[in-house]
Amino acid sequence: MKTITLTPKKFSSIALEFDELIPDKVYDWNKEDFEKYEVPIGNSRFPLTDYFDIEIEGSAEGPEEVKMILDGDMGRVKYIGCKMSAGDILVNGDADLQVGAEMTGGSIKVNGNAESYAGREMKGGSLEIMGNVREYCGTSYIGEWRGMSDGIIKVHGNAGKQLADCMSGGEIYVDGGCDILAGIHMTKGYIEIGGDVTRWPAGQMKNGTVVIKGKLGRLLEGFEVEGIYKNPEIHGKQLTGKYIKYKGDIGVNGKGSLWLNAEKNRDLL
């Protein structure tokens, strides 16, 4: 087991990019390797040691034996854990854009908030964010119609706009509320939102499941009530209480399911 601890000592207002500092690439790096390394910042590179104190303990045969601790505010560090396939990353603070984007395995935990595009195009592994995430969490790349296909994202706070655009697999859990268009264009997969949702969940969904446990501000026209179920079992989980089940989005011949907590959404009954 190898533990790599990076402790911030200088803040850069221009974001640093960490996609080269994933367990897959650094599992066999020693201290000198890190000291030699120059990190991309804007259109240039600067020594990593200008920005971080680096500590390494133990050794690793492969990325799965690596634990990286980013011990402080990473609010201006982009691409943390991007494309990683194994190992663990712990962020003891906020994370900037694209944390966990395109990851295929391993785990990332952010003990703060995450900026937009967290878990973009995720294909495996787990991403847990203790605070809030901004827009496009678990979505596709801009323009791309193939989104997150596997893995788990857990957000303990709130999620922003367009959660899981074009999702085709995997699971997303948001404990808090969620802004517009969660699950838009989704074709498969499972999204569970604990809090309230502003508007238009699951627009143009073809298939998959969205569960909303809080109050929904506005439902799209393309969803038809299929029935009301008590303590339904969805995605292998027993939910408690009454749920309204919708099918949609009929605008695109969708066969997805949208479940709304009946108690919280009496106006729709």
Partner 1 sequence: MEYILKNGIVYDPTNKVNGDKKDVMIKDGKIVDEVSSDAKVIDVTDKLVMAAGVDVHSHIAGPKLCVGRLYRPEDERRGVKPKTATTRAETGFSIPSCPTTGYRYSRMGYGTVTEAAVPPLEAKHTHEEIMAIPNIDISPLTLFGNNWFVLQYVKEGNLDDLAAFVSSWLKITKGYGIKCVNPCGSEAWGWGMNVHGIDDPAPYWDVTGRQVMRALVQVNEMLGLPHSMHVHTNDLGHPGNYETTLKTMDCVKDIKKNPSVSRDQIMHCTHLQFHAYGGTSWRDANSGAEPIADYINKHDHITCDVGQVTLDETTTMTADAPMEYDLYKLSGLKWANKDIELETASGLIPCIYSGKAPVSTLQWAIGLELFLLIKDPWKVVLTTDSPNAGPFLRYPRIISWLMSSDRRTEMMENKEVHKWATKRTSLGTLDRVYDWNDIATVTRSAPAKILGFKERGHLGVGANADVAVYDLEPEKFDPTKAANAPVVEDVLSRALYTIKDGQIVVKDGKIAKVVPSRHLWSNVQGFEKQEKKVLNDIMPMFNKYYTIKFENYKVHDHYIEPSIEYKVNASK
The residue ranges that bind partner 1 (CB under 8 A) are 140-145
CB closer to partner 1 out of 144 and 221: 144
The length of the chain in residues reads 269
SS3 94: coil
Q: How far is the CB of 83 from partner 1 (least distance, A)?
A: 13
Nearer to partner 1, 11 or 145 (CB): 145
Taking the complex as a whole, the smallest distance from the CB of residue 46 to partner 1 amounts, in Å, to 16
Least distance to partner 1 from the beta carbon of 144, Å? 4
CA distances from 146 to 139, 142, 188 (A): 9, 10, 11
Beta strands in 200-241 (DSSP E): 209-212, 216-218, 224-230, 233-234, 237-238
For the bound state, the minimum distance from the C-beta of residue 53 to partner 1, rounded and expressed in Å, comes to 29
SS3 call for 36:
helix
- Of the pair 122, 219, the CB lying nearest partner 1 is at 122
CB of 45 to partner 1, least distance (A): 11
**Distances in whole angstroms, Cα of residue 265 to Cα of each of 98, 113, 132, 260:** 34, 29, 24, 7
Task: Please identify, using beta-carbon distances, which residue of 143 and 236 lies nearer to partner 1.
Answer: 143
Residue 249 to residue 255: CA distance in whole angstroms: 7
Half-sphere exposure of 202 (CA within 13 A, CB side): 37
Residues 245 and 222: their CA atoms lie apart, in Å, by 13
Nearer to partner 1, 72 or 119 (CB): 119
